[in-house]
Amino acid sequence: MSTVAKRWTYEDYLKLEDDKRYEIIGGKLIEMPAPTTTHQRIVGRLFRLMSDFVEENSLGEVFVSPVDIILSEENVVQPDIVFVSKEKEDIISERGVFGTPDIVVEVISPSTLKRDTEDKKKLYAEYGVKELWLIFPGEKAVEVFSLKEKDYEVCSFAYEKGKISSCLLKGLEVNLEKLFKEVL
């Protein structure tokens, strides 16, 4: 008798018939908790800033979760915010983004800490996501990482006050006091 766990694929994922949110990482199906209002405030503020900047400079498109990012048959994720450059717009379809976006943003919650900061960070590096933002609402901190070779290096960091900058989207700056306004 085999005790090998089922390896989930994008095809299996599409057949799910409930209203829950899931990701597939390394063939494992992972149910995602509903985001908090604090999480949603932060995502909404950052999405507006990024989207306006990208649109004003005609750089590509920004998407807010839930949107499927299909990195491979066994790796389907739903980051909080995703930027796809104009040069890669052919990976965008009605069903999701089929390929590697340029920037991924994850707002970290206690229940997703390890998955977002370790598992998904490694996955994003493996698939060549050029820039990764990790936002920690509890600490009011943001780390922006830039991909060098096959690993991430910090390109911008701020805690409570100050600004963080995108290394990929030159000129995009985010004021932390505004981003974390009303965060408990």
| pLDDT value of residue 1 | 44
Q: What is the residue-wise DSSP string for 21-75?
A: EEEEETTEEEEEPPPPHHHHHHHHHHHHHHHHHHHHTT-EEEEESS--EEEETTE
Task: Compute the average pLDDT of residues 116-138.
Answer: 95
pLDDT grade for 17, boundaries at 50, 70 and 90: confident
pLDDT recorded at residue 184: 54
User: Which ranges constitute the DSSP H helices of 97-140?
Assistant: 113-114, 120-127
85 pLDDT band, cuts 50/70/90, is: very high
The mean per-residue pLDDT over the stretch 107-117 comes to 89
pLDDT tens digits along 18-39: 888 999 999 999 998 888 899 9
Residue 143 near residue 166, CB atoms below 8 Å: no
CATH class assigned to 35-179: alpha beta
pLDDT at 183: 67
pLDDT tops 50 at residue 141: yes
Burial of 39 (0-12, 13-18, 19+ CB in 10 A): buried
pLDDT above 60 (res 179): yes
Provide the whole-model pTM.
Answer: 0.92
Residues 6+ apart with CB under 8 A from 111: 33
The structural domains of the chain, with segments of one domain joined by +, span: 35-179
Residue 2 pLDDT grade (very low, low, confident, very high; cuts 50, 70, 90): very low
- Read off the pLDDT of each residue in 66-83 and give the average, rounded to a whole number: 96
